């Protein structure tokens, strides 16, 4: 898959983080807890320029990176309009986004002002969606548990926000070092295993396992190599990656709110929203987005923590440099 991408190097930003939050809520409105998390990711990532040549590993449908890179969708676009297997989400933990139809044409009001040279993902349908965004120069279908299909020193910037999804993490980190140019940077946004504590699990005796299972919906199964901070940093050292910077950007408060979220009812919300006429859907969505912008604005602050005693962050951004 290949499209022409104009070169651009600076990382743009919407004028305020409130505007950024609004763009993420518009795209992910039925999962507002994902919208604020992605806003936090984008704010952290704005600290690092995506110098070219660049790669986005585990890019998925590309919507996160499109918005981060300054792209703007029409208000009617969101990731829920093109979904499948909604009846299999609860029991089989199906990925409702893993589909692409010929009619998937997101309305783009402004193209991203930063291009990304390569997007890579395991799932061809998600790459098909990413291909419609005029963001990536090239899209590559590949399982990151195997050696990456790029020459040594291919990239100045390597970005990945889902390394903890990769089972063969040592191999993957070795590969990140190999494909990064001397003087280049690897930006990893990784969840910490503190996430496992930032749930309602401690209340199992009162809530029962079924409630916890409904809330969890198999998400932890997708994180085989989530780890604590010391383990991540030891893995980086073993792979010959030096930590240049570590920026915590999701707190325990964010993680607890995300833990409840609308995840369990998302398939039903999607079915309801998609059964509406386009006019009604847009009008409900407009009010919903306005409300959640106000509700979630305080959560778009990476330092927000409502607990009195400090505890581990839930996600950290590492910038790493390859050692030879």
| Contact residues for ligand SAM, defined by CB under 6 A | 58-60, 64, 121-123, 126, 143-145, 161-162, 165-166
Instruction: Tell me how far, at minimum, the Cβ of 238 lies from ligand SAM, in Å.
Output: 20
Q: Which is nearer to ligand SAM, 97 or 283 (CB)?
A: 97
> DSSP state, 192?
B
Tell me the residue nearest to ligand SAM as measured from the CB: 60
- In angstroms, the CA 141 to CA 75 distance is 30
Q: Two tokens at 234?
A: 């030891």
- In angstroms, the CA 36 to CA 44 distance is 12
Q: Which is nearer to ligand SAM, 175 or 232 (CB)?
A: 175
Instruction: Tell me how far, at minimum, the Cβ of 299 lies from ligand SAM, in Å.
Output: 18
Instruction: Tell me how far, at minimum, the Cβ of 34 lies from ligand SAM, in Å.
Output: 9
Q: Which is nearer to ligand SAM, 14 or 147 (CB)?
A: 147
Q: Which is nearer to ligand SAM, 143 or 290 (CB)?
A: 143
- In angstroms, the CA 226 to CA 169 distance is 10
Burial 153-183 (b: 16+ CB within 10 A, else e): ebbbbbbbbbbbbbebbebbbbbbbbbbbee
Instruction: Tell me how far, at minimum, the Cβ of 203 lies from ligand SAM, in Å.
Output: 27
Q: Which is nearer to ligand SAM, 12 or 284 (CB)?
A: 12
Q: Which is nearer to ligand SAM, 59 or 270 (CB)?
A: 59
Cis ω on the peptide bond leading into residue 288 (within 30° of 0)? Answer: no
- In angstroms, the CA 93 to CA 80 distance is 16
Q: In this structure, are residues 163 and 139 in contact, taking their beta carbons and an 8 Å threshold?
A: no
Instruction: Tell me how far, at minimum, the Cβ of 143 lies from ligand SAM, in Å.
Output: 5
Instruction: Tell me how far, at minimum, the Cβ of 61 lies from ligand SAM, in Å.
Output: 7
- Beta-sheet pairing, 180-191 with 315-322: antiparallel
Closest CA to 45 of 149, 241, 188: 188
Q: Which is nearer to ligand SAM, 104 or 284 (CB)?
A: 104
Instruction: Tell me how far, at minimum, the Cβ of 57 lies from ligand SAM, in Å.
Output: 7
Closest CA to 93 of 271, 263, 218, 210: 218
Q: Residue ranges of the alpha helices (H) in the chain?
A: 17-27, 32-45, 63-68, 89-92, 124-130, 169-179, 204-207, 209-216, 229-238, 252-260, 266-275, 278-296
- Beta-sheet pairing, 54-57 with 116-121: parallel
Instruction: Tell me how far, at minimum, the Cβ of 79 lies from ligand SAM, in Å.
Output: 9
Q: Which is nearer to ligand SAM, 14 or 305 (CB)?
A: 14
């Amino acid at each position: 898959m290949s499209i022409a991408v104009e070169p651009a190097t600076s990382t743009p930003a919407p004028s305020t983080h409130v505007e950024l939050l609004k763009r993420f809520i518009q795209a992910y409105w039925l999962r507002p807890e994902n919208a604020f998390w992605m806003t936090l990711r984008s704010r952290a990532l704005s600290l690092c320029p995506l110098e070219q040549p660049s790669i986005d590993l585990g890019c998925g449908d590309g919507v996160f990176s499109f918005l981060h890179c300054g792209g703007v969708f029409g208000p009617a676009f969101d990731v829920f309009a093109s979904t499948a297997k909604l009846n299999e989400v609860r029991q089989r933990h199906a990925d409702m986004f893993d589909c692409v139809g010929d009619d998937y044409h997101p309305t783009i009001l402004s193209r991203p002002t930063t291009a990304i040279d390569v997007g890579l993902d395991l799932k061809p349908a998600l790459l098909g969606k990413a291909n419609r965004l005029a963001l990536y120069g090239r899209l590559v279908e590949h399982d990151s548990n195997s050696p990456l299909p790029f020459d040594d020193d291919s990239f100045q910037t390597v970005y990945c926000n889902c390394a903890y999804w990769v089972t063969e993490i040592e191999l993957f980190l070795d590969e990140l070092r190999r494909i990064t140019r001397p003087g280049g940077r690897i930006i990893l946004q990784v969840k910490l295993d503190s996430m496992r504590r930032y749930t309602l699990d401690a209340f199992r005796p009162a809530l029962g396992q079924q409630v916890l299972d409904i809330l969890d919906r198999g998400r932890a199964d997708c994180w085989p190599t989530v780890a604590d901070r010391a383990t991540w940093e030891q893995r980086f050292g073993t792979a010959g990656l030096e930590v240049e910077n570590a920026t915590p950007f999701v707190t325990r408060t964010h993680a607890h709110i995300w833990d409840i979220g609308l995840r369990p009812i998302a398939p039903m919300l999607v079915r309801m929203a998609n059964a509406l006429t386009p006019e009604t859907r847009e009008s409900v969505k407009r009010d919903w987005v306005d409300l959640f912008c106000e509700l979630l604005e305080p959560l778009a602050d990476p330092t927000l923590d409502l607990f009195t005693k400090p505890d581990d962050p839930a996600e950290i951004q590492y910038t790493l440099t390859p050692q030879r």
